[in-house]
Structures are given as C-alpha cells and as structure tokens.
Structure 1
Amino acid sequence: MKKTKSTFERVMEDPKQKEAFEKEYANFLLSELLLDAMSEQNVSVRALSRASGISTSVIQNLRAMQPVNITLKTLNALLSSLGYELVARKGRHCVSLTKQSA
C-alpha cells in the first residue's frame, strides 16, 4: 500500500519552495520570540525601543513578520534588552555574542 504524501511533504520536495519556507520560518520564530518575551515581561514596543535603541517601526515590523533586514547588532540589542543571550554553538563549543557589561 502506497503512502500518500502530505501537502507539506510535497512542498518540501521543491527546493525553491523549501528555501522560501525555511526563510519565512526563521522570521516566524523571531516574531514569536519577541511577542512571547514582550508579553511575558509586559514590555511595550515603545519600552523595548527605548531599552534597545531600536526604532519602534523595526520592532513592529519584526512582530508582524514584515520584511526587515536586521543586523546582528540589532538582533543582539533586542534580545539582550529582553534578557536573552545570543550565542553561536557548534557541538559543545559555545560563544556568547551578547554585549557584556563592564
């Protein structure tokens, strides 16, 4: 008996559609992280903007999954303002990319 592929499985077979999905999925995850952290900490867009030095329009666009090209510096400012640490990890080796306080 032949198993029928799901719509998702069929879409993922197309390299262009798979790449588009993966790009959008990263945007979705970042948006969800911001929404959850801001909600959990009761932080408004304006308060996060003041704390991070990032404009309210950039934060609003990230939350709404609108196209935004952000730098590592911007991402770091947003995440560290919400109490997150940005790290690069390979196996057991981990390097913090978060700005350290003096």
Structure 2
Amino acid sequence: MTDKNDSTLDSFLNDSKQKKKFENEYAQFLFSELLLEAMNEEHISVRELSKKSGVSTSIIQNMRSMKSKNITIKTMASLLKSLGYQLAAKKNGKTVKLM
C-alpha cells in the first residue's frame, strides 16, 4: 500500500516490477560510466580496447552508450581486466576475486 504523501520515486520503487527495471538500468548506467571513465584514464580507444579484450567494437560502443541490454559476465570481465580492474563478489566483508 502506498502512502499518499510518498514521492513519485517512492511510489515508483514500491512497484516491484518498476523497482527491478530501475535497478537493472541503474547498474547498466554505472557500468557504462565506469567504462567511459576507465577508457579516458587509460587513454584507450574503442578499437584498442577491442583488440586487448577480444570484445567487438560494436559491443563496446553499445555498452558505452547504454544500448546493450544483456552484458555477459565474460564480456564484462574481459573489458575490466583489459582496463586493469578486477571483478569480485563481496558479502559480509568477505571478497572473492572472480578474475
């Protein structure tokens, strides 16, 4: 039940389908921003990153512009590793490196 004093965002996020969509799109946005920032810091072009990571230039471009809807862990890991990052899972203070 929604309180009539809830903000539009609160009402939106109280709907489980809308909340899941928001969380997925926000995660996609964050990864896109991370990718753009890392590429700028490393002074690496889409073409160079493609060669280093084995990920096609079109997929990288789509990720940068948030047009890619389903990013695989393998693709994400390849890009992150090529940019000097590690992929890890963290729970209750315990971190497990995934690559």
TM-score by length of 2: 0.88
Q: Deviations over 1:45-81 (max 9, x none)?
A: 1111011010001100111111342322211110010
Question: Which residue in the other structure is 1:55 paired with?
Answer: 56
Runs of 4+ in 1 over 4 A off after TM superposition: none
Contact 1:45–1:56 under 8 Å retained in 2:
yes
Indicate conservation of the 8 Å contact 1:58/1:68, yes or no.
no
Query: Is 2:71 the counterpart of 1:70?
Result: yes
Please give the root-mean-square deviation of Cα atoms over the aligned residues, in Å.
1.7
Which piece of structure 1 moves more, 30-39 or 5-14?
Answer: 5-14
Distance 1:39 1:85 in 2: 18
| Aligned-partner residue type, residue 59 of structure 1 | I
Aligned residues: 97
Letter in 2 for 1:74: T
Q: Which residue of 2 aligns with 1:26?
A: 27
SS in 2 for 1:94: strand
Contact 1:28-1:65 within 8 A present in 2 as well? yes
Quote the sequence identity (%): 55
2:39 & 2:77 partners in 1: Cα distance? 15
Q: Which moved more, 1:65-74 or 1:43-52?
A: 65-74
Matched, 1:95 2:99: no
TM-superposed deviation, 1:5:
2.5
Gap change, CA 1:82 and 1:68, over 3 Å in 2: same
Unaligned runs of 5+ in 1: none
